[in-house]
Amino acid sequence: MSRVVKKTPSVCTDMPLNNAEVCAKLHLMKELLRSCYGPTGRLKHIRNNIGGRVTTSSSSSVLLPALSSSQPLLNLIKSSILNHISRFSDCGLFAAIFCLSLLEHVRQHELRENLAIKVNKHCLSLCTSYLQREDCACRVKVNFCSSQNLMTLAGSIISSKPACLLTEAEKHHISTMVVRAFLQTIPCSTPGPVTLGHTVTVTIVGLRVLDSAVFPGLLVEMYDPFDQTDSSSGPLRTVLFSTSLAGDLAELGDGTIEVDPDVDTDLQVLNQLLELGKQLVEDEVRLCVCQKVIHPVLQQYLRSHGVVVLERLGMALMEPLSMLAGTQPVATLHARILSTAYGRVKNLSTKQFGFKTMLHLQPEGEAAVCTMVLCHRNETMLDELKVVCQKAEHGLRLTLKEPSALLGGGCTETHLSAYVKHKLFLLLQGQQEASESAAGLGCSPAEFLLGVKVFCRSLDMVARSLEHDGGTSVIDLNHAHHWTVSAGATKEDMVGGLGLCGCGLVENSPSTKWTFLNTEYAEFCPAPLLGDSCRKPTVLDSFTAKVNALQVAVETANLVLDVRYIIEDVN
Amino acid sequence: MPPSERLRLEHVLEMVSALEAVILRSFGPEGGQVLFTRNTGQAMLSRSGTRILSALHLEHPLARMVVECVWKHSRATGDGSKTFILLLASLLRMISKAISRELGASHTYGFTEAAKAAAAPHLANKLLELASSDLDDLVAVNVVPYGFCLSLEDFTTHRLLLASFFHTRVSHVHCSYLSELTCEMLNRWKHKSDLPCVSLQFLSDNFPALHTPVSGFPVSSSRLIEGQVIHRDFATARLPNKQQPVKAAVFTNYMQPVLLGPGDVLKVGYGDGVTEQNTMVHFSAWTERSLESVIAKLQSLGVSLLLSAVKQSDAALALATQAHMSLVECVSEEELSLFMQLSGVTPVSRGCTIQAKHVAALSFCRPILLGAHRYVHVAFCEAAETCELNPCSLVICGPGEEQTDQYICAIRDAVCMLMTTWEPKHTSEAAASHGTVQSNKSPASSDMTTQSTANEPYVLKKCVLEPGCVIPAGGTFEFLLSKALLNSSLPSVSQLLANALLSVPRQIYSHSPKLFLQAQTRIMSLVQNPSNSVRLKESTSESTVDLGLESVACKCQLILAVVQCATSVLRVDTVLHAHTALHTRSKKHTNSSQDSTEDEEED
């Protein structure tokens, strides 16, 4: 019996957002995440208090689970962001920084919580409806006829994770690979609803990044030496077992079984297995794969008849393999195997990667299965690279649902902020409407204005977080794109030498006017770029992920603003 | 002799006031959420009074008793837990004030303590008497005429009622969205012929199987989807065919026969040597063959979807795949029972007895990706018994689990609240005759209140508390009832209740006292000028937009529950701290569940 312990009363915090300690923690978290944001973000070492492995990363999906806090509000924010990441893989840091800076700005400007919640919601719906509009100037249609946009999208995701430590050439190589893998998993011929295929990732430490490659079909690690001479050519008849062939007794129920000491049950079961093996050989099976273990005698029998045997495949590879070969897994030992259950593999060959030997199974026709072999110099970087490649592939898959992308490099943020300001200005010009909408939210126009300002500043703050080397962020007063000025730049440099904006779509021209992002600037209508501009954006973000991140950030901030009381169970 | 603690009214009041202070943070239109963490570290968000109070882990036995009362009340009606504490605190305050005034007037210094101790339970008893005998009639005569009934055809009134309910339970920005969603769900599940109670009861019984929480998306992605979501993935890799209709069978047991039950003994190889008939291999071959015959039978019936309550064997899985069937394993009991109710099939218990009655026809069956999980989405063909229903399930999205949990609780409580609102009155017969008697005799005698004679024609029709009666929110009920209590000829204790009631609207308008006075004047002027009562009803369409609606039945139950709780709290005079650790705990539970708390014992 467990010990009965009296429960201690809970610890309560009244009005947590007015509490200096809580605010300091929120600020600390914001600064920590800000310093990781973007391609030049700083890396973080993570290690636990008893030593063990050290992880180096700047990615939110690694950092956030490692940050444990006793402050429930922080955990609330953290879990919201992690949920977003698990659905969309991308834009986690964006959501976290935006949410935390909204909270901080609301506090700095001493807005009433309920008012801030309503204004945030209002601004969010302005932004999301603008982003969905056809004439949205920060959205780019993804063209599937060329790989240009896909490459840019994958490249942006990969270069936003500096912990992979890739050179330019390596970045290019990896993004090409990711796009190729993505394209291979889209089945071409099937009509009706499409089921996307699989990319299996294999990691190898110690090789150069440029040795990484994508192969159609599957690469399976080999435990036994494989004699390549005999049976590797021509289409191979394949059978796939999902049950153990090790000679275990069948499950007959919970009762007791009494066996006469003279009877050798093992032998009987083995005979049964060999019977099965005979059938396989008769049916001209050339490749026999089992999810679990195969009895050594059966293995020997099959090998001696020229059948290639693969055992201990594991659950994860079962579905890709049955997709690749068109087999149906078999789990019966007594019944005859139907001919429809067999599948075919075009070719078998071995591939050598460092000290690892892999068996390469090639599909006969068009199969949406491919294997990505990732190589890197050490394990930490390889882990990060694997995470990043999976994120990039997920990002590409999201474009299938919504074929759009958003301008990266902070340009979407500054553009949205300018747009929201402009909308508000139009509203204030028609005074009547403004006071109406303010009254609808239950506040005065001045309070409404302040609320919108807080929202825009927080968006600008996210764009400014991209710069870590002491440079300053500026915004042009024409298209409202985001530019960075390096630390040592003078006034003259600014006029002539800024080059391209954050996303690479706008070129510097002498007539462009700038203002610093952290200053007040007069509102203006962000002009759309002319359609015939031959420039292509060099940085793109996933549309679906970013829109969701924006919504999740605002909703989480609203939630935190709405919390008036915290009760902590300390038992 | 265990240590004891004498309870005085001041202590009780102090303790209830402390609870009130916590509750006030999330009460009313300006109220916010409360975040709490469990001892497991899991966070929860809530504006529900019950959840907040139970999360406090209070130590004082009286406080725990109060929390228990709140919990019981809100489980029955789904609503009013915060108002409960508010009313209780203000009622106790009124009682304490009344006693000190009385004692101050009578100058009996010598016996103050004893008199004081006796006075409070005495007052409380009187109040309880008043509430249980006269409250229903008072409400029927003085409040109901200003309310109206929810309409079954048009769901706008339902939406208003739900919106004001959600205003007290979730963040303000999502109220209207949630109430639209809930209304739509009620509308789709509505039986045309039956009372609303029946479909509400069905919803509340099957709610666990009817919703899916999805975290990581904004709340505005919440939606209704046709048919039922089975919260499991296909065990077979192959997806069901596109043919229509999809035929499905439900298994509650293993498809592969279990040869040996627990305790059975199988003897292998004894007797006349080893033959083909007498080996282990033979038995396992037999089970495989019977499994094959089950699959063949299913194939001949055209079944392509199998739902199973248990995990089937590998062989069953592989054979089903080869027969182009999809298998869904480990479906929970609730979901299976809902599936069977909606499709009208009986489950297969033994593989060899499959008949046509075990096969359900579905209009489609496909995988659906909700958040991180892939589930099975089925929709039902329009059979004779379900044609009036439009089965649908609810997908609730939120950035985190805390939020989806909160919304799910709120919706479940909303259904409970609607059930209380629509609950048929068992005493309606008696109340109706009572009401007519009163209004018949009222022209002659001045016994009834003056305004009831004045608005005669209306009262005649509408002095019974009908199911589905609602009234504009924002304190209307409290203003009207307190006015009626003050004007009635009931015993003087009714004054206490009347004053206590007013504390509720006072808290609602706590951010601006001006609004409180305005609201009071507006409602009082309506009462003074009874011909307006019909106009109040008609003008609700505009005024309720900002006020919302609330259920009269819930309010009545709430007042009764508060008075009961106050009585039982005041009757306790001593707390005994017993030291025997375990069995007193169970005794405590039986005690409080009977509400007869003469003495509270606490370990």
Report how far residue B557's alpha carbon sits from residue B540's, in angstroms, rounded to the nearest whole number. Answer: 24
Enter the DSSP assignment of A465.
Answer: T
- Find the range with the poorest average confidence among A152-156, A316-320, B572-576: B572-576
pLDDT bin (cut points 50, 70, 90) of residue A567 is confident
Distance of CA A117 to the CA centre of its chain: 29
Q: Is A328 on the interface with B (CB under 8 A)?
A: yes
- Both B431 and B366 in one domain: the answer is no
Record: contact B402-A563, CB cut-off 8 A: no
User: Is residue B226 domain-resident?
Assistant: no
Do B244 and B317 fall into the same domain? yes
Q: Which of A45-59, A180-194, B240-254 has the highest mean pLDDT?
A: A45-59
Query: What integer pLDDT is reported at residue B270 of this predicted model?
Result: 65
Shortest distance between the Cα of A78 and any Cα of chain B, in A, equals 9
In a domain, B560, yes or no: yes
More confident of the two residues A234 and B83: B83
Q: Are residues B9 and B108 in the same domain?
A: yes
Say which residue, B265 or A166, is predicted with more confidence: A166
Question: Considering CB atoms only, which of B173, B218, B319 is closest to A117?
Answer: B173
On whether residue B74 sits in a domain, the answer given is: yes
HSE (side-chain half, CA atoms, 13 Å) at B532:
12
State the CATH number of the domain containing residue B241.
3.50.7.10
The single residue listed with the structure tokens 């991308």 is A90
CA B73 to chain centre: 10
Local structure of A187: helix, strand or coil: coil
Mean pLDDT of B319-335: 90
Last residue of a domain, one of B360, B377, B394: B377
Mean pLDDT of B224-248: 82
Choose the final residue of a domain: B377, B398, B418.
B377
Is the pLDDT confidence value at B486 over 50? Answer: yes
Cis peptide before B245 (omega within 30 of 0): yes
DSSP letter string, A306-361: T-EEE----STTHHHHHHHHT---B--SSSPPPGGG-EEEEEEEEEEETTEEEEEE
Listed range (A57-66, B83-92, B239-248, B323-332) with the worst mean pLDDT: B239-248
Min CA distance, B220 vs chain A (Å)? 9
Of A10, A192, A334, the CB nearest to B56: A10
Q: Using CA coordinates, name the residue in chain A closest to B289.
A: A335
CA dist B369 → A571, B214, B363, B589 (Å): 38, 10, 19, 45
Residues B137 and B263 in one domain: no
Residues 6+ positions from A314 with CB-CB distance below 8 Å: A291
Range of the domain at B339: 232-377
B171–A340 CB contact, under 8 Å: no
Interatomic CA distance for residues A209 and A211, integer angstroms: 5
Interchain CB distance below 8 Å, B403 and A565: no
Rg of chain A over Cα atoms, rounded to whole angstroms, equals: 30
Rounded alpha-carbon distances, angstroms, from residue A76 to A19, A66, A70, B174: 17, 15, 11, 18
Interface contacts (A, B; CB < 8 Å): 245
- The two tokens of residue B41 are 């570290």
- Taking an 8 Å cut-off on Cβ atoms, the answer to whether B314 and A242 are in contact is yes
Task: Indicate whether B188 belongs to any domain.
Answer: no
Mutate which of B26, B322, B588, B603 to disrupt the A interface (most A C-beta within 10 Å)? B322
Task: Give the C-alpha separation, B571 to B569, whole Å.
Answer: 6
Q: How far A338 CA lies from chain B's nearest CA (Å)?
A: 8
Using a CB-CB cut-off of 8 Å, the residues of chain B touching A195 are 239
How is residue A216 written in tokens?
Answer: 């159609």
A338 interfacial to chain B (CB closer than 8 Å): yes
Same domain membership, residue B40 and residue B136: yes
CATH number, domain at B447? 1.10.560.10
**Residue of chain B whose Cα is closest to the Cα of A566:** B35
| pLDDT band per the 50, 70, 90 thresholds, residue B115 | confident
**A207-229 pLDDT, tens per residue?**
999 999 999 999 988 776 666 55
Own/partner pairs for B271-279, CB < 8 Å, 24+ apart? B274/A262, B274/A263, B279/A263, B279/A265, B279/A268
Q: Which two tokens stand for residue B278?
A: 């007498």
Mean pLDDT of chain B: 78
What are A540's two structure tokens? 């793109």
Per the CB < 8 Å rule, is B315 touching A555? no
Between residues B249 and B542, the one the model is more confident about:
B249
Question: Which residues, in sequence order, are CB contacts of A296 under 8 Å at separation 6+?
Answer: none
Q: Which of A121, A252, A556 sits opposite B283 (nearest CB)?
A: A252
Q: Are residues B19 and B139 in the same domain?
A: yes
Pairwise CB contact (< 8 Å): B218 & A10: no
pLDDT value at A552 more than 80: yes
Question: Quick one: pLDDT band at residue A182, thresholds 50, 70, 90?
Answer: very high
Average pLDDT, chain A: 86
- The Cα–Cα gap between B421 and B428 comes to 14
Helices B552-571, B401-422: crossing angle, 10 deg rounding:
100
Chain A residues 202-261 with a CB less than 8 Å from chain B:
242-243, 249-260
In chain B, whose CA is at the least distance from the CA of A79?
B400
Of the candidates B265, B321, B398, which has its C-beta nearest A256's C-beta?
Answer: B265
Better-scored residue on pLDDT, A254 or B291: B291
Q: Are residues B271 and B348 in the same domain?
A: yes
Residues from chain A that touch B265, judged by Cβ atoms under 8 A, are 255-258
- Residue B73 in any domain: the answer is yes
In the three-class reduction of DSSP (H, G, I as helix; E, B as strand; rest coil), residue A371 is classed as: strand
CA distances to A121, A431, A432, A522 from A428, rounded to whole Å, are: 19, 5, 8, 14
Q: Does B126 lie in the same domain as B31? A: yes
Rounded CA separation B287/B309 (Å): 20
Q: Quick check: B111 pLDDT over 70?
A: no
Examine the domain organization and report whether B440 and B536 are in the same domain.
Answer: yes
Query: Exposure of B483 by Cβ count < 10 A (0-12 exposed, 13-18 middle, 19+ buried)?
Result: buried
- Do B83 and B28 touch, CB atoms closer than 8 A? no
Cβ-contact B62, B600 below 8 angstroms: yes
Inside any domain, residue B455: yes
Strand B223-226 relative to strand B392-398: parallel, antiparallel, unpaired?
Answer: antiparallel
Total of domains in chain B: 2
Beta strands A256-259 and B265-268 are parallel
Alpha-carbon span B360 to B339, nearest angstrom: 10
Domain boundary, last residue among B336, B355, B377:
B377
Q: Which of A555, A566, A571 to mutate to test the interface with B (most CBs of B within 10 A)?
A: A555
Stretch among A408-417, A547-556, B24-33, B486-495 having the lowest mean pLDDT: B486-495
Within a domain: residue B398? no
A265 contacts in B (CB within 8 Å)?
268-269, 279-280
Please give the residue of chain B at the shortest CA–CA distance from A326: B238
Provide the shortest C-alpha distance from residue B270 to chain A (in Å): 6
**Which residue intervals of A8-132 are DSSP H helices?**
20-34, 60-66, 72-88, 92-108, 113-132
ipTM, two decimals, is 0.85
Give the residue among B237, B46, B344 at the shortest CA–CA distance from A329.
B237
Rg of chain B over all Cα atoms, to the nearest angstrom:
30
Which residue in A12, A252, A335 is closest to B266 by CB distance? A252
- Highest mean pLDDT range out of A306-310, A546-550, B191-195, B367-371? A546-550
Scanning every residue of chain A, which has its alpha carbon at the shortest distance from the alpha carbon of B46?
A563
Cβ contacts (< 8 Å) between B39 and chain A: which residues? 569-571
| In the block, residue with structure tokens 């079944």 | B303
> Is residue B336 a part of any domain in this protein?
yes
pLDDT tens digits, A456-488: 999 999 999 998 988 888 888 888 899 888 877
- Shared-domain flag, residues B370 and B437: no
Contact A334/B at CB under 8 A: yes
Pick from A87, A118, A252: CB nearest B217 = A87
Q: Which residues, including other chains, have CB under 8 Å from residue B294's CB and lie 6 or more apart?
A: B255, B351, B352, B354
Helix (H) or strand (E) holding B488: none
Shared domain check, B114 and B37: yes
Q: Do B287 and A250 touch (CB under 8 A)?
A: yes
Residues B265 and B323 in one domain: yes
Q: How much of chain A exceeds pLDDT 70, in percent?
A: 90
Please spell the DSSP secondary structure of B528-561, one letter per residue.
HSTTHHHHHHHHHHHHHHHH-EEEHHHHHHHHHH
Cβ contact B364:B379 at 8 Å:
yes
The residue whose two tokens read 């069995």 is: B583
Select from B216, B219, B268 the Cβ nearest to the Cβ of A83: B216
Calpha distance A437→A126 (Å, rounded): 13
The mean-pLDDT minimum among A127-131, B41-45, B496-500, B576-580 falls in B576-580
